[in-house]
Amino acid sequence: MKLSIPQAEFQHALSRIQAIVEKRSSMPILANVLLDAISDSGEQTLRLSATDLEVGIRSSHEATVINPGSLTVSAKKLFEIVRELPNDVIHLEATSNSYLEIRCARSRFTLAGTVAEEYPTLPEAAPGKTVPIPASVLSQMIERTMYATSTDETRYNLNGVYLELLPKSGKIRMVATDGHRLAYIDRVINDEAGAIHNSVIIPRKALAELKRLVDEDDADELELCFDGNSGLVKKGGVILVMRLIEGEFPNYRQVLPKETTHRIVLPAEELANSVRRVALLSSERSRAIRLDLSPGSMIASSNNPDLGEAQEELDITYEGEPFSIGFNARYLLDALSVVKAKEIELGLHDELSPVQIRPTDDTDTLAVVMPMRL
Amino acid sequence: MTQIILHADMDAFFAAVEQRDRPELRGRPVVVGGLSDRGVVSTASYEARVFGVGSAMPMLEARTRCPDAVFLPGNMKRYVEVSRTIFSIFERFSPLVEGISLDEAFLDLSGTQRLLGAPAQVGQKLRKSVYEETGLAISVGIAPVKMVAKIASDEAKPDGLLEVQAHEVRDFLGALPVGRLWGVGPVGRQRLERAGYRKICQLAQAEEETLRRALGEWGEWGVGLASLARGEDERGVEHSRVASSYGEENTFAQDVCDLEPLERAIRRHAEAVARRLRKDEKLGRVVVLKLKLGRRRSRGPRGYPQHTRQCILPSYSDDGSTLAQAAQALLREFGCGEPIRLIGVTVRDLVTRGEAEQGQLGLFEAFADTPESEKGKAVARRSQLNTAVDELTSRFGKGAVSWAGEALLEPAGLHDRAKSGDTET
């Protein structure tokens, strides 16, 4: 293997895979990146692959390939080296005993590697029909739902975001819940949404990688494809493959609140700031805050026997009977922080029913948070 | 203001109680502990200590060293009774008493001079009261620092008192070996000695940089010890400690290899822990399984490889079955096959019943056909059952009702060890 590639391109490619390579794996080779130098009928590319067996990224980059070949080396060390090199051409060459020689300007490194044959194959997705989706739409959908996934490994079916097609409207929906809160968002993507015929659960780590990919500067439109228990996302020369969560997503529709007695419209940021301030004195374990509603006013408060008390009053348009409801402040803040709207509507029923949080200018998204017993 | 801390420690407590209650034992070596071949010594009377018998020594070794001693299985109930009397005496001398074990406590004497007199006088008065009211000897150490007070009471033994005043602390500590410092066990001591620190004074005088270099990855630990070695420790006496963990463990009379008896032992410990949780109105969420393998790796009581595995329960629990199932799953995951010498179950991350109930409501619990609501009903039924069992136990005594499968394997010691963890800070 012998090739050369511009430093900037190589650094960018290596930084993309850093979150995927396993730091502490039972398979040490998963800490490596697989380099494939390919010279195919005039087209010369360097292909990078990294995987933790659940998620994998493969990217192709234009390069000058002198000798085709493959090698794997520590992804972290290679990145650290390339990051420090000047913006010039980097020459890579596999030397004897699986060493990788890296030369750039007047620097020269040799990095111990492992033969490519030992590297596991990435989860492959069969070439099914792909659905194009704008990066900005996908980014927003992930942002609005991913925070509500469960990190409790015993509830693996909640460890990801559920993606389904809404046949009537032709929109796609992403839903996530951890059993205490839920968030969903519906978006129109295009006429080909119908190609997503199976509902799937995308695991959190894959979503995080996907989010990084859609938020890259040059991201415009991506191709999505699901097949069996694997998924594939294409962005130009970058392919993200993932293993999907096998399991049944709970029947979330039955927990979407049907009754809403009170609707309160509030400036989103003002509410978030109040909750954040009051939460400073809530118990560290429960993060419980209390909302007391009465005509014209909402008082947010917290108290912690070890610390003290906090209270803040907000003017609201509320006409009903006074009532009090408790919440985990973090759940409220998580929901408020991703809404990114000027105004939100809080839908409340009683002190044991969930609150609904929704931007006033977007009815296709909803966050639901269960209260705490006071 | 400098603190004045008194450390009170009964002399050879269990053995002394036996000698007090049975005059024929007075003046003879008495050893209390687990009497089976794998038991360990809980307490040795001073007459037995002459032969080199000490706490935590394997019973077999004690028998070899002092074959003529009287070996007793001990009577925990009796010791607990006596301990209560002693603690009620402690409380007459200070409003702030921190019990460390049945026979040992810290008393805060700061600011009591005007009321009770000079610390040394208070100490003598306390010793006199304990002797007059229980017939037992107690040793007392007084110092401005907790650790120093404890070492002082140790030095005062038997039946003595030693006060170390603020200006004497460094000289007092300096001459002692590093192993006497809190947090320095046999392994730590070796580590320090290899780095050239044998006496506490050497550690106290060490430059921070030199110390870090000498101890490498243990540098931070060493720097902390050095300040302890200079008597710099602000920890005060804390009101009755709040346990942050509850655990039960036992050493088997014979190493156990099969899964089934191990699971029974787990069940037993889990039920015992759960009973204690319910008694104190607490619930826990982290279950820890502790295993000691029978194959010895090196000499000494620490020579048996020890493993712990833990998991987080989906919700806080005080139910023995729930805890047992979690611990049994951990055991299967660990994959036994090797002989096990000791097994234990501990529950951490505790909350009070009030805190647990104040908790977060679930989205899916209100719906009839979800797994969550079924689980909720099962938890409620189980909780009623536990209440009933607890009531029977309180009326007819421990063991009146127990779970099938909670059978007893022959343990090596005189009783299962019930443990409580330190305060959470």
Which domain CATH number covers B214? 1.10.150.20
H or E stretch covering B98: strand B97-101
Is A290 part of the contact surface with chain B (CB cutoff 8 Å)? no
Domain ranges in chain A with CATH number 3.10.150.10: 2-118, 131-252, 257-369
B395 with B281, same domain: the answer is yes
CATH number at residue B34: 3.30.70.270
Rounded to the nearest 10 degrees, what angle do helices A268-279 and A329-339 cross at?
150
A46/A37 Cα distance (integer angstroms): 5
Interface test with A, best of B287, B310, B349, B360 (most A CBs within 10 A): B360
B406 pLDDT more than 70: no
The reply to whether residue A180 touches residue B362, judged by beta carbons under 8 angstroms, is yes
CATH number at residue B405: 3.30.1490.100
Overall average pLDDT of the B347-351 stretch: 86
Which of B:362-401 have CB within 8 Å of A?
362-364, 366-367, 370, 372
Residues of chain A with C-beta less than 8 angstroms from the C-beta of B372? 179
* pLDDT in the model for residue B412: 53
- Residue B327 in domain: yes
B155 with B36, same domain: the answer is yes
B136-185 residue pLDDT tens: 999 999 999 999 999 999 999 999 999 999 999 989 998 899 989 888 88
- Residue B354 in domain: yes
B403 with B289, same domain: the answer is yes
pLDDT band at B305 (very low <50, low <70, confident <90, very high): confident
* pLDDT in the model for residue B367: 61
* pLDDT in the model for residue B147: 92
Interface test with A, best of B361, B367, B373 (most A CBs within 10 A): B361
The reply to whether residue A179 touches residue B357, judged by beta carbons under 8 angstroms, is no
ipTM exceeds 0.85, yes or no:
no
Is A208 part of the contact surface with chain B (CB cutoff 8 Å)? no
Residues of chain A with C-beta less than 8 angstroms from the C-beta of B366? 255
Residue B260 designated active-site: no
- Residue B188 in domain: yes
B144 with B255, same domain: the answer is no
Measure in Å the smallest separation between the Cα of B369 and chain A Cα atoms.
10
B67 with B213, same domain: the answer is no
Token output for A282: 């809530």
B117 with B205, same domain: the answer is no
B98 with B42, same domain: the answer is yes
- Residue range A257-369 forms a domain whose CATH class is alpha beta
Residues of chain B with C-beta less than 8 angstroms from the C-beta of A184? none
CA–CA–CA angle A163, A169, A173 (5° rounding): 15
Is A354 part of the contact surface with chain B (CB cutoff 8 Å)? yes
Interface test with B, best of A182, A306, A373 (most B CBs within 10 A): A373
A109-136 residue pLDDT tens: 999 999 999 898 876 656 667 888 999 9
What percent of chain B has pLDDT above 70? Answer: 88
- Residue B36 in domain: yes
- Residue B239 in domain: no
Residues of chain A with C-beta less than 8 angstroms from the C-beta of B370? 250-251, 254
Candidate list B104, B248, B249, B263, residue with the active-site label: B104
- Residue B3 in domain: yes
B203 with B153, same domain: the answer is no
B200/B211 Cα distance (integer angstroms): 13
The reply to whether residue B360 touches residue A370, judged by beta carbons under 8 angstroms, is yes
B219 with B159, same domain: the answer is no
B155 with B176, same domain: the answer is no
Top mean pLDDT of A47-61, B225-239, B384-398 is at: A47-61
CA–CA–CA angle A175, A178, A183 (5° rounding): 30
B131 with B279, same domain: the answer is no
- Residue B251 in domain: yes
Please give the residue range of the domain that contains residue B283: 246-423
* pLDDT in the model for residue B233: 83
pLDDT band at B191 (very low <50, low <70, confident <90, very high): confident
End-to-end Cα, chain B, rounded Å: 23
Is B339 part of the contact surface with chain A (CB cutoff 8 Å)? no
The reply to whether residue B355 touches residue A285, judged by beta carbons under 8 angstroms, is yes
Nearest chain B alpha carbon to A355 = B363
- Residue B237 in domain: no
The amino acid present at B81, given as its one-letter code, is E
When divided into structural domains, chain B yields a total of 3
Low-confidence ranges of chain A (pLDDT < 70): 24-25, 123-128, 191-195, 197
B198 with B303, same domain: the answer is no
- In the CATH hierarchy, which fold is given to the domain comprising A2-118? DNA Polymerase III; Chain A, domain 2 (3.10.150)
Residues across chain B: 425
Sheet holding B5-10, edge to edge: B97-101, B104-108, B5-10, B138-143, B161-163
CATH number for A131-252: choose from 3.40.50.170, 3.40.50.300, 3.40.640.10, 3.10.150.10: 3.10.150.10
Overall average pLDDT of the B98-109 stretch: 89
Instruction: Please write down the HEC assignment for all residues of A117-128.
Output: HHCCCCCCCCCC
A198/A120 Cα distance (integer angstroms): 28
B155 compared with B306, residue with greater pLDDT? B155
Nearest CB partner across the interface for B370, out of A250, A288, A370: A250
Report field, pTM of the whole predicted structure over 0.95? no
Nearest CB partner across the interface for A328, out of B357, B360, B370: B360
